[in-house]
A = this chain, B = another copy of it.
Amino acid sequence: MDILLSESIQQIAGKLQSWRRDFHQFAESGWFEFRTATIVADELHRLGYSLKMGKEVIKADARMGVPPEQALQAQEQRAIKQGALTAWLPHFSGGFTGIVATLDTGKPGPTLAFRVDMDALDQNEAQTHRHLPYAEGFSSCNANMMHACGHDGHTAIGLGLAHILKKYESQLTGKIKLIFQPAEEGTRGAKSMVEAGVVDDVDLFIALHIGLGVPQGELVCGSDNFFATTKIDVTYRGVAAHSGAKPEDGKNALLAAAHAVLGLQAIAHHSEGSSRINVGVLRAGIGRNVIPDYALMKVETRGKTNEINNFVYHQALNIIDGAAKMQGVEYEIALMGAAQSSPPSPAWVDFIDQQTRQYIPELSSVVKSRQQPAGSEDATYFMERVKANGGQATYLIFGAELSAGHHNERFDFDENVMTTAVKTLATIALHLPYFDAT
């Protein structure tokens, strides 16, 4: 089987590359993945998958960090001009750019879900011939949108996997769900899919990422480095006044924000593990001689565990509230993103470790976990839900050579990782009968 599988995958290697490069060129940021989603839906539909899309798989009020309506409409128009398949577009309109494709083998067996993400980052791509996507003509044509994290590859892997699984359907058991998630950047999208119930029937779950500093050829079977995180926008609203003529009439939103910044950065460390706080952006005031009547802060908290993140977050809420009271200003807090910490399920990690060591010779190294810098990932929402329902979940990292770090304007990856990933994931699915989940 493995030889056949390898051959099958080699046959779609060109497709993987062309999908990836197409998504890369028409990079779409979170909740704007209109073109990408229509292409994904169309492909999956043509393969024979049963699809759920848009509001069926995304709970509207559980979405976080959704851009304003006006921007959504403009981007939808942009997508149409760039070849979005308009037949599918109504499903995704308004920022509901998620898809769940199901393959029901009709045979008994667990439900296995794979999750990939589709969104680009809000940044411009390098315009230099030393940057391969630019040199080869597939760098992003959309201003302030760039696939600098590899989600273009993830989406292509998802489609490639769909091809292979369909091809080998007769050898599969149970059900397979392929989840294409929007807005992972900023950890904004997963919660809304989880709350729509898309993994409520899932027994085994795999999310994946390429790169992340793992060497080319290495697979991490159970990455456990994701911090729980909460991302909020805080807006203080005071009262403007002429700073020379009537200073006593002002309610100074910037003073509130300055206290909040210092207070937030000074939240106590936690003895049970690492935590983080950042006020990454502050915008306040309208003129030099006017007491600032507004201040916007973009804040995020993180914690090694959900409990630690909650500790930091609730301290932050007190600080934000108290700083407002100090200056007599009002405030609003908007939840812009969130993710959890979620340790992988040991037995599931062991199984993947064994299978991949044995059957994927392309992998020069297979490890269960790896010390990595603190980051966050909203796939953890899926993982927590699956585990809460008695299932098992893990997060794979496929090592890949990178031209520059993630989120760098010159980020690019060795596209060979895509075939390795497809083969690995398909193999896990095909070998599932050998897994004893109890």
Find out whether the CB atom of B325 lies under 8 angstroms from the CB atom of A300.
no
Instruction: Give the CA-CA distance A246 to B328 in the complex, in Å.
Output: 29
Cβ distance A339 to chain B, nearest Cβ, rounded Å: 11
Contacts of A11 in B (CB 8 A): none
Contact B284 A288 (CB under 8 A): no
Q: Does A71 contact B (CB under 8 A)?
A: no
Which B residues are in CB contact (< 8 Å) with A229? Answer: 244
How far apart are the CA atoms of A388 and B345 in the complex, in Å? 42
Number of A interface residues in the complex (CB < 8 A) = 70
CB distance from A267 to the nearest CB of B (A): 8
**In the complex, residue of chain B having the shortest beta-carbon distance to the beta carbon of A186:** B288
* Residue of A271, A323, A325 ringed by the most chain B CB atoms within 10 A: A271
Shortest CB distance A111–B (Å): 33
A17 within 8 Å of B (CB atoms): no
Chain B, residue nearest A374 (CB): B244
A237-286 contacts to B (CB < 8 Å) = 242-248, 250, 252, 254-255, 257-259, 261-263, 265-266, 268-272, 274-286
Chain B: minimal CB distance from A284 (Å)? 5
Q: Pick from B244, B258, B295, B298: contact of A262, CB below 8 A.
A: B258
- A289 interfacial by beta-carbon distance below 8 Å: yes
A279 contacts across to B, CB distance below 8 A? 254, 285, 292
Q: Which of A254, A268, A284 has its CB near the most chain B CB atoms (within 10 A)?
A: A268
A302 interface residue, CB < 8 Å from B?
yes
Question: Does residue A290 face the partner (Cβ distance < 8 Å to B)?
Answer: yes
State the CA gap A281–B245 with chains docked (Å): 18
B242 adjacent to A373 (CB under 8 Å): yes
Contact B270 A248 (CB under 8 A): yes
Instruction: Point out the residue from B246, B286, B291 that lies within 8 Å of A271, measured CB to CB.
Output: B246
Any B CB within 8 A of the CB of A110: no
- Copies per assembly: 4
Closest to A213 in B: B245
Which of A290-324 touch B at CB < 8 Å? 290-292, 295, 298-300, 302, 311, 315, 318-319, 321-324
In the complex, residue of chain B having the shortest beta-carbon distance to the beta carbon of A372? B245
Question: Which residues does chain B contribute within 8 Å of A68, judged by CB atoms?
Answer: none
B280 touches A286 (CB 8 A): yes
> How distant is the Cα of A311 from the Cα of B376 in the complex, in angstroms?
25
A376 / chain B contacts, CB cutoff of 8 Å: 244
- On A, residues with C-beta under 8 Å from B are 186, 227, 229, 231, 242-248, 250, 252, 254-255, 257-259, 261-263, 265-266, 268-272, 274-292, 295, 298-300, 302, 311, 315, 318-319, 321-328, 336, 373-376, 407
State the 8 A-B residue pairs at the shortest beta-carbon distance, nearest first: A322-B326, A245-B373, A322-B325, A243-B278, A265-B266, A281-B285, A280-B288, A258-B261
18 A-B pairs with CB atoms under 8 Å apart are: A242-B373, A244-B278, A245-B271, A246-B373, A247-B270, A248-B269, A252-B265, A255-B265, A257-B282, A263-B326, A269-B274, A280-B287, A280-B291, A281-B285, A283-B284, A287-B298, A315-B328, A322-B326
Known: A244-B302, A252-B265, A254-B279. 13 other contacts (CB 8 A): A231-B288, A244-B374, A247-B276, A247-B278, A258-B258, A258-B261, A259-B259, A259-B262, A269-B274, A280-B292, A281-B284, A282-B283, A318-B327
